Chains A and B, each alone.
Chain A
Amino acid sequence: MLSDSILTAITLLPAAGALVVALLPRKGRTIQWFTLLVTLATFILSLHLPAHFDYARRGFQFEENRPWISSPAIRYHLGIDGLSLWLVLLTTFLGVIGVLISWRAIETRTKEFYFLFLLQQTAMVGVFVALDLFLYYGFWELSLVPMAILIAMFGPTRGRQAALKFFLYTFLPSALFLVAILWLYAKTGTFDFVQLQNALTNQPALFNPQALWWASLAFLVAFAVKVPVFPLHGWLSDAIQEAPTAMAMVVAGKLGLYSIVRFNLGLFPTQARAIAPLMIALAVTGLLYGALVALAQTDMKRLVAYSILSNLSFCTLGIFCFAVAGLNGAVFQTINEGVTGGALLVLVSLLYGRYGTYDMSLYGGLAAKLPMLATLYVITALALIGLPLFNGFVGEFLVLSGGFQDHPGWIAAAAISVILSASYILWMVQRIFYGEPSSLVVHRPAMDLNAREHLMLWPMAILMLVMGVAAPYWMKAINGAVSGLAGSSAGTAAEPAAQTAAATAASRETQ
């Protein structure tokens, strides 16, 4: 019974919560407690999904498919597979963290903040579960609005510009994306993902190949901006700098990457394969560019922004190598980026809350003063640079090993960025936590983590470790979904290969 409408519940519960928030009094912390309750409830509901997920089954599960509008034929079609399963959980998990990090950071206009925050949750979960292109496009566009308004409202210095930039960067390509969706509908008479996939594979005669190319490109550009893929990343660092931490954690990455895998690989495999060389080149460029720019930063939030760009390019690389292991790694790395990158943004914002600056040169010797914060910072840093035993290692290993066979040159270049990322991350840790205590650190009272901060950081740290050690548990769902996308020819043969690759990666760590 619960399985029949669980996805609707997870998607719409935050939006329903938002409506209640609009009616709550501003006094005290009622709104915060209520939002926490809503996000916790959503997270607990979403735990139902992995518990009842059938790993042996192909196709979509927990499906809901009801008529919505008769003509144009739009259906309310939700469903998840191994690809979206963990992304939904990641979103609901980060929802709880987002409330906790905003607890003290957002003291004014709380009603507006939590209203939009919950709406954003609905939009993001909706993107992952929608299987009707109209519905999907709805959530996709909806996810822009609360984000843009929150950046405009809470951006400390250039909020308005950052919000406009973010919105226009993502909205303009969406217009062409909509043309492509409408074109597909005109040709097939359906918006349903599954039916479209069937039509595209079985009735290629319906489509003009030239037009199909343009359609796939319209999809890809819209998604690539949202990831972002180099050179479409112009909005990213501003948005991350100006957005409240809870929003900066979710502004980039998973929505775009998921959509590329779901739609470009799922609907337009031939076109995606043809454009792969370009995408690989862009991904590696973004990887090195992000890492090098991060290396040159003195502002830690900008450093994190560029490290996110670099890490997301890694996922793009994994997707377009078209190897099962690479795809597994890319999806896994997308989730990692959500957890680890999110944790790093939280930690950076905690430092800002205590010392009022992002300038690393003003810090120093903090480890002795704030031992708990330092410990968690180091754990996160190690996970981010892909130290074995942590989640980052599994993802990077799979992407690199998966792509090496076909693209040794590009993979070698990508491997350099692994070294670069270790340098800028560890250098940042060294500048902030070690060395002589700076005057700023000496003169401010040392406040280590409080209970609320422990409560949000430890689950993330533990997750980094568990995802690293028990990677195959996550992998079995992901692999089931992506193995079919990697190649129709090598599809079945490659499946066990990926399983073993994941197992090897895991066993290497435990050694």
Chain B
Amino acid sequence: MNDSLRILPEIVLTIAGVVVMVVDALMPKASNRKPLGWLAALGALAALAASLWQYQLPPGTAYFGVVQTDAFSVFFHVLIGGILLTSLLITLDAVAPGTEGLGELFALMLFGSVGMMLMSSAVELLLVFVALEISSISTYIMAGFRRKSAKSPESALKYFLLGSFATAFFLYGIALIFGATGTTRVAAIGAAVNGTHAPGLLFAGLAMIIIGLGFKVSAAPFHVWTPDVYEGAPSPVVALMSTGPKAAAFAVLLRIAYGALPQLHGHWVPILWWLAVISMTVGNLGALRQHNVKRMLAYSSIAHAGYILVAFTALSADGVAAASFYAVSYAAMNVGIFAVISHVGGYDDQLTSIDDYRGLGYSSPLLGGAMTLFLISLIGIPFTAGFFGKFYVFAAALHSGMVWLTIIGLINSGLAAFYYLRVAVAVYSRPVEAAPVMSVAKASFPLQLALLLTAAATLILGIVPGNVLNAARAAAQIFYSVGNGN
């Protein structure tokens, strides 16, 4: 009984997902499937509450030590719960009542989140792998959900092929680490590293794992799938898959780097240093050339993965806390901006070029204003989540002497201002005369709720980040407590 409490949010989501699927099958074929979305949102809300409740559990493991609840895992559980809830609201707004397979979409979102949550609490690498697969397979399917458009199945296939390749790398890495240390438990690996008889295997395993996870967080040079998949997948789905699996993969990377292999930091810090630099540069330069908002945000997500990787190189509790905090702030602003995009473009993505956003600020002051707020946060203007996240990341890096990385990163963020700003300026300039004026539908209640949640999070994280910051620091402390430090 006590064991199941440690995976309570996952249980809640699984039950909710099953209920959604069963009710979906029982409903008449032609009926409106939207209430299922509300049911799913209710499940997400319950899972969020269960995650928050887990804060009061004493830290510990369950099921023979494969799952661990601690400040770190709960932090990411709450984050993923929040992302899921908001993405469901966005989906409810974007889809038409008669959309094909709507019940399955909602169920898949719930099941995928089970995988993401489990990734952040698993301390047995094989369970991490299983959780990663749960989350990945759900997202592959969701990416291809608009079966009638050409781009969506294409993106799903691309995502699936490259994604399974990356998971194979990850699995191979686990095998090599097992070969070197004789265990797949995070804590045991840490203890066995010094006595290993095959350091070469260990490094190779570490490199494989970094490649596998690098793909999942879309760090360059493992990013090539990102723009196509973001462009082809339905926007509400992108809101979830650009933030949730990424946060979970970063949690896994943190656990492996800081929890299992801190002694090897001499090896993984330079690798992540280069990954960070390449991701930031490739992401920002790539985004500069895009005219499609979704592709632009795909490249921007590569750059933001780079910013988070900067925090990894700090090798301090502040670094871990900064990476975790950044994952939250990126989620707030990115889910927010995809809420606007999915409403403007609709489920079918009719309007995605930057010119389509001209005059949005006048035709819908609410959407235009929200879009501007999220763009400003993505640029990193103070008093928004994006700024404080970046500030904290680079403060941690500089504190550890990463001067060049900080300079490269902040110059990058200066460059990035250009392409975000182009959209923000478009939102407030007059529409092109010749362009057909597409009227934007009034924001529905779920969208208003989603915008409220994300905008409030963006501002709160920027102005009074105290509570989230403390939670992130508490999460980071688990790697620096007695007997586990480096």
Q: Which chain A residues have a beta carbon within 8 Å of chain B's beta carbons? A: 68-72, 109, 111-112, 134, 137-142, 144-145, 148-149, 152-153, 159-160, 163-164, 167-168, 171-172, 174-176, 178-179, 182-183, 185-186
Contacts and interface: CB of A to CB of B under 8 A. Distances in A.
Contact of A163 (B318, B383, B398, B425): B425
23 contacts: A69-B465, A70-B466, A112-B365, A134-B391, A141-B382, A142-B381, A142-B383, A148-B421, A149-B424, A153-B361, A159-B429, A160-B429, A164-B425, A167-B421, A175-B410, A175-B411, A176-B410, A179-B394, A179-B407, A182-B394, A182-B395, A183-B398, A186-B398
A167 B473 CA distance: 34
B163 to A, nearest CB: 34
B35 interface: no
A144 B414 CA distance: 13
Contacts of B399: 185-186
A186 B394 CA distance: 10
A51 B469 CA distance: 41
A363 B410 CA distance: 49
A175 B470 CA distance: 26
Contacts of A72: 391-392, 395
Given A71-B473, A138-B383, A183 B403 contact: yes
Given A149-B372, A179-B407, A172 B414 contact: yes
Nearest to A111: B365
Contact of A168 (B365, B391, B413, B417): B417
B348 to A, nearest CB: 29
Nearest to B462: A138
Nearest to A69: B466
B428 interface: yes
B382 A142 contact: yes
Given A111-B365, A185-B395, A149 B428 contact: yes
A142 B424 CA distance: 15
B372 A179 contact: no
B395 A186 contact: yes
Given A141-B382, A182-B394, A167 B417 contact: yes
Contact of B391 (A71, A153, A178): A178
B428 A153 contact: yes
A288 to B, nearest CB: 31
A178 B415 CA distance: 14
B422 interface: yes
Contacts of B372: 149
Question: Which of A111, A159, A163, A182 has the most C-beta atoms of chain B within 10 angstroms of its own C-beta?
Answer: A182
Nearest to A189: B399
Contacts of A182: 391, 394-395, 398, 406
B165 interface: no
A178 B410 contact: yes
B162 to A, nearest CB: 33
Contacts of B418: 164, 168
Nearest 7 pairs of A and B residues by beta carbon:
A138-B382, A175-B414, A175-B410, A172-B414, A152-B425, A182-B398, A186-B399
Contact of A179 (B362, B406, B422): B406
Given A149-B428, A160-B429, 10 more contacts: A68-B466, A71-B469, A72-B391, A163-B425, A167-B421, A175-B413, A176-B410, A178-B410, A179-B407, A186-B395
A140 to B, nearest CB: 8
Question: Which of B318, B415, B418, B428 has the most C-beta atoms of chain A within 10 angstroms of its own C-beta?
Answer: B428
B48 interface: no
Contacts of A68: 466
B71 interface: no
B480 to A, nearest CB: 14
Contact of A178 (B394, B428, B469): B394
A155 to B, nearest CB: 9
B381 A141 contact: yes
B376 interface: yes
Contacts of B387: 138, 141
Interface in B258-316: none
B141 to A, nearest CB: 40
A209 B344 CA distance: 53
Contacts of B469: 69, 71
Question: Which of B376, B382, B383, B470 has the most C-beta atoms of chain A within 10 angstroms of its own C-beta?
Answer: B382
Interface in B365-407: 365, 372, 376, 379, 381-383, 387, 391-392, 394-395, 398-399, 403, 406-407
B417 A176 contact: no
B410 A153 contact: no
Nearest to A184: B398
Contact of B428 (A152, A172, A186): A152
A175 B415 CA distance: 9
Nearest to A153: B428
A152 B359 CA distance: 12
A107 B411 CA distance: 39
Contact of A171 (B391, B406, B417, B428): B417
Nearest to A140: B382
Nearest to B380: A141
A183 B405 CA distance: 12
A138 B428 CA distance: 23
B457 to A, nearest CB: 17
Contacts of A134: 391
Question: Which of B392, B403, B422, B465 has the most C-beta atoms of chain A within 10 angstroms of its own C-beta?
Answer: B403
A153 B425 CA distance: 8
B414 A171 contact: yes
A171 B365 CA distance: 26
Contacts of A168: 417-418, 421
Contacts of A137: 382
Contacts of B470: 70
B285 to A, nearest CB: 15
A242 to B, nearest CB: 12
Interface in B157-195: none
Nearest to A115: B369
A492 B468 CA distance: 49
Contacts of A145: 376, 381
B14 to A, nearest CB: 38
Contacts of A172: 411, 414-415, 417
Contacts of A175: 410-411, 413-414
Nearest to B415: A172
A179 B403 CA distance: 8
A151 to B, nearest CB: 9
A255 B76 CA distance: 41
B425 to A, nearest CB: 5
Nearest to B465: A69
A219 to B, nearest CB: 14
